[in-house]
Structure 1
Amino acid sequence: MKDLARLRTSIKESVELALNQQIQMELTASSKYLAMAGWCDRSGLDYCAGFFYKQSEEERKHGMKLFHYLCDQGATAYSPEIPAVGQEFDSLKAVFEATLEQEIAVTDSINRIITICRRENDYATEELLKWYVKEQMEEEYIARRCLDLIDQIPADQVYYLDKKLSSVTYEDNVFE
């Protein structure tokens, strides 16, 4: 009977497992960004808080996109357990360092899944993941630019970055 169930999907078990791990990673990132938003709110950085609230929701959508993909393909998507995340940061720079670290880890994970897809000849999943590759380029770019700005502005001018984040998008390149 189990073999018949596997016929319902063309997704190999290794890809299914990797995608479920990615769902957990995306939803954990959502939780981390929510914690960052809360810290920014408590620190009076309203636009940074808004940026991270938006990031939290975006990461949740990324996880749900993968969840729905697995379900639509007849595979099994698991609701992941999300570990506790830190709620406090030493500075806005520490928040964005954690952001960049998180995004690099997600990029590495997406690349790993693409490698698995290629090994398994899973072209459909690889095609889906191309969207994530582009998304990760944007996410890393924004985090790096924010860190660049933090390093260039005096500590008492952090409100400049806070205000810029109210309208940040990759396409508009508002930092130039």
Structure 2
Amino acid sequence: MISKELQKALIEQLNKEYHSAYLYLGMSAYCSKEGFNGSSSWFLIQYQEEIAHGMKLFKYLEDQDVELKLPSIEGVKVEYNSLLDVFKKALAHEQKMSKNLNILSDIAMREKDHATYNLLQWYVTEQVEEEATLKEIIDHIKLVGDNGYGLYTIDKELSTRVFSDPTTK
């Protein structure tokens, strides 16, 4: 059985997963408005991934008979300074999520809740991939700077991303 402290923290994490989805939806809107349709599509897929992450955690909490009281999802801004800025903000967000998941993992281990710890390790591993992908995109954008053709090429490449539910891997 999951302790009350860990239940509360997991419900907060569930809220953070859905807030992440909302954040990526806002980033998609910004990119679309700026004409970066490939990046907009990339962020829409990121939105779908975050929804899948949330559903994985939601199902786990249901399976553990946790009483779910869902808090409101915090609003997000949809204004950024540039394509580089939006991807840097996405990376900073993922780094914050990684920190949150590490704290949750520490709580699960302290409480010897091996089932929850095991679940959280899936998320921790997923975060490594999320951060690496964003760092690579940021590096590419930095390489081309303000070069329109370079940004166009990166945007075009980002449009090839296809949603693959990470929770089924």
State the alpha-carbon separation in 1 of the partners of residues 79 and 115 from structure 2: 40
1:80 to partner: Cα distance: 2.6
In structure 2, the partner of 1:158 is 151
1:20 to partner: Cα distance: 0.6
In structure 1, the partner of 2:64 is 73
State the alpha-carbon separation in 1 of the partners of residues 50 and 83 from structure 2: 20
RMSD over aligned CA atoms reads: 1.2
In structure 1, the partner of 2:38 is 47
State the alpha-carbon separation in 1 of the partners of residues 94 and 153 from structure 2: 23
The 1:168/1:141 distance shift into structure 2, 3 A limit, reads farther
TM-score normalised by L of structure 2 = 0.90
In structure 1, the partner of 2:110 is 119
In structure 2, the partner of 1:17 is 8
State the alpha-carbon separation in 1 of the partners of residues 64 and 112 from structure 2: 15
1:79 to partner: Cα distance: 2.0
The unaligned stretches of length 5 or more in structure 1 are 1-9, 170-176
Structure 2 residue 135 is the aligned partner of structure 1 residue 144: yes
Deviating beyond 3 angstroms after TM superposition, the runs of 4 or more aligned structure 1 residues are none
The one-letter code of the counterpart of 1:36 is M
State the alpha-carbon separation in 1 of the partners of residues 120 and 160 from structure 2: 27
Q: Percent identity?
A: 36
State the alpha-carbon separation in 1 of the partners of residues 160 and 133 from structure 2: 12
The unaligned stretches of length 5 or more in structure 2 are 163-169
The one-letter code of the counterpart of 2:156 is K
- Contact 1:23–1:80 (Cα < 8 Å) also in 2: no
State the alpha-carbon separation in 2 of the partners of residues 77 and 159 from structure 1: 44
- Cα shift readout 1:34-88 (whole Å, capped 9, x = no counterpart): 0000111111111111100011111111112111111111112232311111011
Higher relative contact order (CA 8 A, sep 6+): 2
In structure 1, the partner of 2:120 is 129
- Cα shift readout 1:120-140 (whole Å, capped 9, x = no counterpart): 100000111111111101100
The one-letter code of the counterpart of 2:37 is D
Which of structures 1 and 2 has the bigger CA Rg? 1
State the alpha-carbon separation in 1 of the partners of residues 160 and 105 from structure 2: 32
